[in-house]
Amino acid sequence: MQLQESGEFQVRASPAVVWAFVTRPEQVARCLPEVQDIRAHADHAEARVPVRAGLLRGNLGLRLEVQPDDPAQRVGVRVQGAGLGSTLTLQAGATLGDNGDGTTTLRWQGEVQVRGPLASVGGGRLESRARALIERTFGNLQTQLNAAGDTLA
């Protein structure tokens, strides 16, 4: 299964605050829904997420890397996951836009691929669940960034 999504949102935080947040892998990992056991490393974060799809129950181990492009104010995120005989690869990116009023717009896009039993067991429901998880992840990111901006206001 392969899925592509994109969108944008505005937060009440300056580009500098947003950049400091999105370039830290453990901060980005905390925005994943139901994430557990986050371990921060110098250049990546590791975590696990519970999975329930059909009769499959278990955990996916994740490795999340952040790839900042400071001059372009763009950050890439790569998540690789494995578990339950399946693999997950997520490539995402976000560009920061300074709105000139202390707020920032993030324009994002992402592509996820799931292979193995999770892709076949989930069927059409997996696609709608993946879309909902992407929306929750970016919703969590928006909430965290607004909170970070509010604490500095």
Could you give the domains of the chain?
Answer: 2-152 (3.30.530.20)
pLDDT band at 53 (very low <50, low <70, confident <90, very high): confident
Judge whether residue 132 has pLDDT over 90. no
Dist. CA 114–CA 77, nearest whole Å: 17
Arithmetic mean of pLDDT, 26-52: 93
Mean pLDDT taken over the chain? 90
pLDDT at 102 > cutoff 90: yes
Give dist(CA 128, CA 125) in Å, integer.
5
**DSSP reduced 3-state for 36:** strand
pLDDT at 25: 96
Element (H, E) at 122: helix 117-152
Looking at residue 122, its pLDDT comes to 61
Residue 115's pLDDT band, with cuts at 50, 70 and 90, is very high
CB-based contacts of 13, cutoff 8 Å, min separation 6: 21, 102, 103, 104, 145, 146, 148, 149, 152
Per-residue pLDDT at 51: 87
Please compute Rg for the chain using Cα positions. Answer: 16
Average pLDDT over residues 50-78: 92
pLDDT the model gives residue 62: 96
Q: 61, exposed or middle or buried, with CB in 10 Å at 0-12, 13-18, 19+?
A: middle
Per-residue pLDDT, averaged over 63-83, amounts to 95
Task: Give this prediction's pTM.
Answer: 0.88
